[in-house]
């Protein structure tokens, strides 16, 4: 088989895979960093981990709702980072972890729905004008 006949990896797909790998590493960094910040603020290890897990789970749901049907990994990572940062700021200001997570997720969820309704669908749909 000649060299020209060998299939080369499709570069956009490789770049696409690399983007998702970096986004996953960024999520790992953001969640680990938030856990460390909560530990430095004086939370017990169980409270810090439970708080970050609850906020990250809710943040992942909200960020996927924000960008669906498109994957948009960096927008999702940024939204998750903002949610976790706000939770850490509220806990640092003296709020309880449960109250902080619930308040931030409620506000983020409501603002995501408002943004989706104001902006409309991200892709053209049949029968709707652009």
Q: Give tens-digit pLDDT for 83-128.
A: 999 999 999 999 999 999 999 999 999 999 998 888 877 666 666 5
pTM of the model: 0.81
∠ CA 25-30-35, nearest 5°, is: 125
In the prediction, which pLDDT does 96 show?
A: 96
Q: Give tens-digit pLDDT for 8-31.
A: 545 466 667 888 889 999 999 999
3-state secondary structure of 69: coil
What is the domain partition of the chain in residue ranges?
27-116
For residues 87 and 69, what is the distance between their CA atoms, to the nearest angstrom? 27
């Amino acid at each position: 088989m000649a060299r020209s006949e060998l299939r080369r990896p499709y570069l956009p797909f490789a770049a696409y895979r690399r983007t998702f790998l970096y986004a996953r590493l960024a999520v790992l960094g953001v969640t680990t960093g938030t856990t460390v910040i909560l530990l430095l603020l004086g939370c017990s290890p169980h409270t810090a981990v439970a708080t970050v897990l609850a906020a990250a789970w809710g943040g992942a749901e909200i960020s996927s709702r924000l960008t669906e049907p498109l994957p948009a990994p960096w927008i999702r990572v940024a939204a998750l980072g903002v949610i976790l940062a706000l939770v850490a700021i509220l806990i640092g200001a003296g709020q309880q972890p449960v109250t902080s997570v619930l308040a931030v997720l409620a506000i983020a969820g409501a603002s995501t729905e408002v943004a989706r309704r104001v902006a409309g669908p991200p892709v053209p749909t049949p029968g709707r004008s652009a």
